[in-house]
Structure 1
């Protein structure tokens, strides 16, 4: 077959590759300085605050009824983060000595600048036998072995000031504990829970990288047959992590970043750099072997290395840029959603894609050029045109219809659990069992149910009298009368606490939110609570899912058309990816919602998926799926443009790209699996979901379904209307 490949030595990417090869040491020094600066900035070496100091945590929120009610309470000085609590156990709560020591501590704490009030049973004006004092005793029993202290801080305090006040409170609590032999004091609050979650993010990040990088390196040593070749993608991945953390630090000054964003975005940068590094290094070896043609590696001249690098960046670099665009498109869909956390992830991830592309077209080529002779030290013979993947493609082409039917049936079967999808927005449940703050809030709910807060609250903009009348006549829940507990905030604002069976995210709580919204009084009310916030989030998500999907689908179809000149291949790729992602989400529901593999994966099912997980899996999974689609199609299109038949292009394309796709997928699965070893539930769900998505795509889809459908369609794969063919001839992205 005649090589019809055009001469692209004058292209911009060829010039870039040649420049990287002529000045590799300069490129490495620049990248080294950038990586050191990135890690230093993110870890707080060069700044007053590290990235992790600037992270937030909480349920995903959108502008809606729940947020409006919370804003009203916050303006009225009732923000939940302003409360700091201490559970005292191991004492005789009815003892006068305990009362004296606790009362003295309360007086000292109340005198701390920044403390608004102190609540405990021994300082209630009505006395320790009053109903007001009873709720502060453990199990609401004045003769129990414990009591609760609630310290309310000034809401105007900054984060640093709040920390200082809490430290002063802790010292006074320690003094009180010394005066009460045998007592134990456990402290906590919403701010402490958030800090615990963000701290767990940092630990999980270290755990994930500590597992993923060494194992990935060992696998790449086996794949490439040497430490030098394996070290290049890993080096690029480390650079990507630094770039990802630095970009996140920058974004933290523009938007609030949730703690989970760090893991999600870092994992993406790690995975993409390994993918692109493998592709670039493999293509470089192929190009250099083609030029050396049996020449001893030590005798390869410098100009030949420069030519190979230029051609690598022009070919593999084009694939990387195109792949990066498809990933960016899928992540760009997150920007359509209202939830700030989705926009934060989308914005930060887009910057990480840029870092991964820069690493692939600058740092990796420079490393390849510098270590070129060692990369080929085992010989410069040409890689075989026939092998495992060409034989697999030939086998698939012999029975395409049964393979299509079988694979689609399996994917649909795996997707069936999605029909039972249930979303939640966990708080303390994100942390592993035994975590200090999770135990604190579990004990609070068990022993101090009234002070733990109601499952739902209705914020009523009216007089206390009207609010009390409304609280006594709430809508019935499943035929049961529900009573609310009114509490005056000020003359024009009250809250009505509502407790229902099953907790704040149970079915009854979700149903009660609907009833309260359907039965409004003649004054403004806002239903506040986890169930209300979850409803606002899911309503907003579904409202914008259509436009987001349309945007991603249209942009993907256009890009794939510009790459292939076909309208059939892009539509087929889109449909296959939808089915594949449905299967991945179904597996995730089966594992985490239904509680399978709890022991193996070390988690406790909450009977649902975290509310943002489906969006993340669909966006990131689609991007990674299109990543491998581009890897395969770029080779097939290249061969088809050289004049090979459809079937031959598919067989040879799979042979040339199959090893890269399989190796890259294996390594990315390892990366995601590394983060499964973490403790935070939402990160574990993300890691498992994306690992499953990549595994399904790289095996069932890319190795079986794509070759089979291309065999059935034959030359129809390349069909496009005459007008679009002319458009592609003018604007198409071809080799």
Structure 2
């Protein structure tokens, strides 16, 4: 183990450079991490990352995006409206009316306000038919009244903020002048800001939970505070780098707030996993290269141990990072901005974790070389709990295979009933005031909420009106057909018409709304039109995802197959690994449906089921889960292949490979579960779903699959594990990846 190769590899030479100059590497990383946090948090004069995030909208090619673009081209769109609900208002009180009109006039005079809507402002006052949507009769003379303030679309962000502050004061004066018993205000912008802010809070809480617990586990794994702290320092560096990378991406593509949680927690988990592997191997190499106690370790031995660590553990880290990056790359095939943003950001974070593991962590190891050595080696004997587990499995492999597959298939069955959604206010807990306001407005004043489905067109008004009167009311799910409204003209001079169709549902993604969108796509209006609304947007997302999924799957499957073949020289092992991953992911997806869609464990996990699973989270969980599963596959196969290439029989190689890698796999999985468990406590539903799904995927993969199903299937296959056509064996002999 201490011999020096005649021609050291590039990784070994790099490791020796790091071991020779560890202070320089650490200092460079310290500067980079400080700059990353400063940029992400806006401490250097730039806009902070969280101020550049959005939430809740799925933007995919299709009718919904076309409708939105057409509305914006005509000068409409946006969500710069403030709404106030006043309770217990007497609209017949002349004195209160006069005071209210004065307050309304002041609101109209605020710079940046385009219009104010209130029952008293209609020509015939509250008795005007057009005022009816703004009034909800109560007991006696008391009524609930809504006021809507719209802003000029040309306002800058700063001007809009100033105008909203003055309007907030004006609305308070209006409520007082109207002698309302109570009032509440809100807007879609407030909702989006609340979701983004809650995501930020969830991320801090999650990392605040994950890091300390991870550190305690690392202390137990390594038997010392210093060695345990090295991967944690690397993880902190990864968080800073991830946030800075996301800030850069936010200037190129739209980023959803939930992306931040997902990619930063991925970087955090990978850095801890890779750090575990690198620190363990460094201690092993340092012990093997020394001939005395801790005080006898020389600088030359530290440099040599660092080189050997990266030459061996570094290869595993690189291979693992490539497999995870392949899963992230699959997301780039989807046309949805959210998916591509997640894929690009995820790949950048994987690269960051790789850089930390192959530079910062070994440099820290070199600086603290004598301290880790005092606690002993990381060597493991050939006999232990994992070898005994493998021997037990090998005595009845078919029974194990049958039992494990039965469990996984049973868990996967609920996924056949998967129903997706794209929540808005439902992302927040029911106690959130922003969610309560939006839901109250939709329930008490349904005519003021956006129609569930909208028809946007540049066709002549007469043609649209004729269709609205004769055919639209016959469509399935339609309860009310709105008036044809001209919202403006495009730069080309085309007048844009909008027709709202209401289904009577509070939920814009209810069954009737979905059925209506499906009917409109099957039998489109007799004029060129785009179908807008959340149900239409979700349909576009689902359609585009299904269209692009085969290309993404082909990339991930072929690339993963090629990498595993180069590693093992076998065709059977890569195919088996891919099949087992599919079964494992199906089980975690089924459990996700059972918990969140069916509403089980609502009390335990503190959430309110919306009867569906977030559409984007399903795709992300499959991509991230696949990458993490292959990560553990690499850890296990690397040991088994190494032993088999030395001439060890397959059954013994499986038993010894599981014994020598089982501790690393179990520790890595435990740490990753801890990291993702921090986000199970999230208040934002999408973040909570992600945390639960990935925890389930990791637990199932690291226990049932890696510890039971892999050794059982390899035992049954025997020497057939290593089969490949002769021409592929020649390719592996020439290009295979070996130690």
Q: Deviations along 1:368-390, whole A, 9 cap, x unmatched?
A: 11222211213358532321111
Tell me the CA shift for residue 359 of structure 1.
0.5
- 306-315 vs 548-557, greater mean Cα deviation: 306-315
Q: Is 2:612 the partner of 1:615?
A: no
TM (normalized to structure 2)? 0.95
Q: Deviations along 1:19-38, whole A, 9 cap, x unmatched?
A: 11122222111111111110
Instruction: Quote the Cα distance in structure 2 between the aligned partners of 1:16 and 1:367.
Output: 15
Cα gap change, 1:455/1:297 in structure 2, threshold over 3 Å: closer, same or farther? same
Instruction: Quote the Cα distance in structure 2 between the aligned partners of 1:480 and 1:553.
Output: 42
Tell me what 1:496 maps to.
499
2:539 paired residue among 510, 520, 535? 535
Equivalences for residues 530-569 of structure 1 within 5 A: 530-569=534-573
- 99-108 vs 65-74, greater mean Cα deviation: 99-108
Instruction: Quote the Cα distance in structure 2 between the aligned partners of 1:432 and 1:480.
Output: 29
Instruction: Quote the Cα distance in structure 1 between the aligned partners of 2:378 and 2:207.
Output: 36
Q: Deviations along 1:562-584, whole A, 9 cap, x unmatched?
A: 11111111111111101110111
Equivalences for residues 39-78 of structure 1 within 5 A: 39-78=37-76
Q: Is 2:735 the partner of 1:731?
A: yes
Tell me what 1:636 maps to.
640
Q: Is the 8 A contact 2:513 2:535 kept in 1?
A: yes
Tell me the CA shift for residue 482 of structure 1.
4.3
2:132 paired residue among 131, 134, 139? 134
Tell me the CA shift for residue 9 of structure 1.
6.4
Instruction: Quote the Cα distance in structure 2 between the aligned partners of 1:315 and 1:334.
Output: 30
Q: Is 2:476 the partner of 1:472?
A: no
Q: Is the 8 A contact 1:9 1:311 kept in 2?
A: no
Cα gap change, 1:505/1:381 in structure 2, threshold over 3 Å: closer, same or farther? closer
Tell me the CA shift for residue 90 of structure 1.
4.3
Tell me what 1:341 maps to.
338
Tell me what 2:161 maps to.
163
Q: Is 2:672 the partner of 1:664?
A: no
Tell me the CA shift for residue 529 of structure 1.
1.1
Equivalences for residues 95-106 of structure 1 within 5 A: 95-106=93-104
Equivalences for residues 577-726 of structure 1 within 5 A: 577-726=581-730
Q: Is the 8 A contact 2:321 2:354 kept in 1?
A: yes
SS for the counterpart of 1:493 is: strand
Q: Is 2:17 the partner of 1:19?
A: yes
Tell me what 2:434 maps to.
437
2:446 paired residue among 449, 459, 478? 449
Tell me the CA shift for residue 80 of structure 1.
4.1
Tell me what 1:408 maps to.
405
Instruction: Quote the Cα distance in structure 2 between the aligned partners of 1:643 and 1:45.
Output: 58
- 527-536 vs 344-353, greater mean Cα deviation: 527-536
Instruction: Quote the Cα distance in structure 1 between the aligned partners of 2:176 and 2:574.
Output: 71
Tell me the CA shift for residue 527 of structure 1.
1.8
Q: Is the 8 A contact 1:245 1:262 kept in 2?
A: yes
Tell me the CA shift for residue 596 of structure 1.
0.4
SS for the counterpart of 1:94 is: coil
Q: Deviations along 1:523-577, whole A, 9 cap, x unmatched?
A: 1222211111111110111111111101110010111111111111111111110
Cα gap change, 1:490/1:477 in structure 2, threshold over 3 Å: closer, same or farther? closer
Instruction: Quote the Cα distance in structure 2 between the aligned partners of 1:8 and 1:86.
Output: 78
Instruction: Quote the Cα distance in structure 2 between the aligned partners of 1:401 and 1:614.
Output: 32
SS for the counterpart of 1:676 is: coil
SS for the counterpart of 1:91 is: strand
Q: Is the 8 A contact 2:632 2:706 kept in 1?
A: yes
Tell me what 1:376 maps to.
373
Tell me what 1:114 maps to.
112
1:417 paired residue among 414, 419, 437? 414
Instruction: Quote the Cα distance in structure 2 between the aligned partners of 1:381 and 1:666.
Output: 18
Q: Is the 8 A contact 1:126 1:132 kept in 2?
A: no
Q: Is the 8 A contact 2:81 2:151 kept in 1?
A: yes
Cα gap change, 1:467/1:385 in structure 2, threshold over 3 Å: closer, same or farther? same
Tell me the CA shift for residue 487 of structure 1.
3.2
- 99-108 vs 592-601, greater mean Cα deviation: 99-108
Tell me what 2:255 maps to.
257
Q: Is 2:456 the partner of 1:459?
A: yes
SS for the counterpart of 1:156 is: coil
Tell me what 2:234 maps to.
236
Instruction: Quote the Cα distance in structure 1 between the aligned partners of 2:217 and 2:137.
Output: 56
Tell me the CA shift for residue 481 of structure 1.
6.9
Tell me the CA shift for residue 699 of structure 1.
0.4
Tell me the CA shift for residue 139 of structure 1.
5.1
Cα gap change, 1:475/1:176 in structure 2, threshold over 3 Å: closer, same or farther? closer
Instruction: Quote the Cα distance in structure 1 between the aligned partners of 2:455 and 2:540.
Output: 15
Instruction: Quote the Cα distance in structure 1 between the aligned partners of 2:115 and 2:618.
Output: 42
Tell me the CA shift for residue 729 of structure 1.
1.4
Q: Is the 8 A contact 2:477 2:503 kept in 1?
A: no
Q: Is 2:366 the partner of 1:362?
A: no
Q: Deviations along 1:217-258, whole A, 9 cap, x unmatched?
A: 111111221111211111111111011000000001111111
Instruction: Quote the Cα distance in structure 2 between the aligned partners of 1:490 and 1:49.
Output: 33
Cα gap change, 1:643/1:538 in structure 2, threshold over 3 Å: closer, same or farther? same
Instruction: Quote the Cα distance in structure 2 between the aligned partners of 1:18 and 1:730.
Output: 27
Instruction: Quote the Cα distance in structure 2 between the aligned partners of 1:215 and 1:90.
Output: 52
Tell me the CA shift for residue 469 of structure 1.
2.4
Equivalences for residues 217-366 of structure 1 within 5 A: 217-292=215-290, 295-366=292-363
Instruction: Quote the Cα distance in structure 1 between the aligned partners of 2:719 and 2:449.
Output: 67
Tell me the CA shift for residue 479 of structure 1.
7.1
Tell me the CA shift for residue 92 of structure 1.
2.7
Tell me what 2:509 maps to.
505
Instruction: Quote the Cα distance in structure 2 between the aligned partners of 1:329 and 1:346.
Output: 10
Cα gap change, 1:495/1:674 in structure 2, threshold over 3 Å: closer, same or farther? same
Instruction: Quote the Cα distance in structure 2 between the aligned partners of 1:123 and 1:274.
Output: 62
Q: Is the 8 A contact 1:467 1:486 kept in 2?
A: no
Cα gap change, 1:8/1:162 in structure 2, threshold over 3 Å: closer, same or farther? farther
Tell me the CA shift for residue 187 of structure 1.
2.1
Instruction: Quote the Cα distance in structure 1 between the aligned partners of 2:416 and 2:352.
Output: 37
Instruction: Quote the Cα distance in structure 2 between the aligned partners of 1:694 and 1:466.
Output: 57
Instruction: Quote the Cα distance in structure 1 between the aligned partners of 2:377 and 2:559.
Output: 41
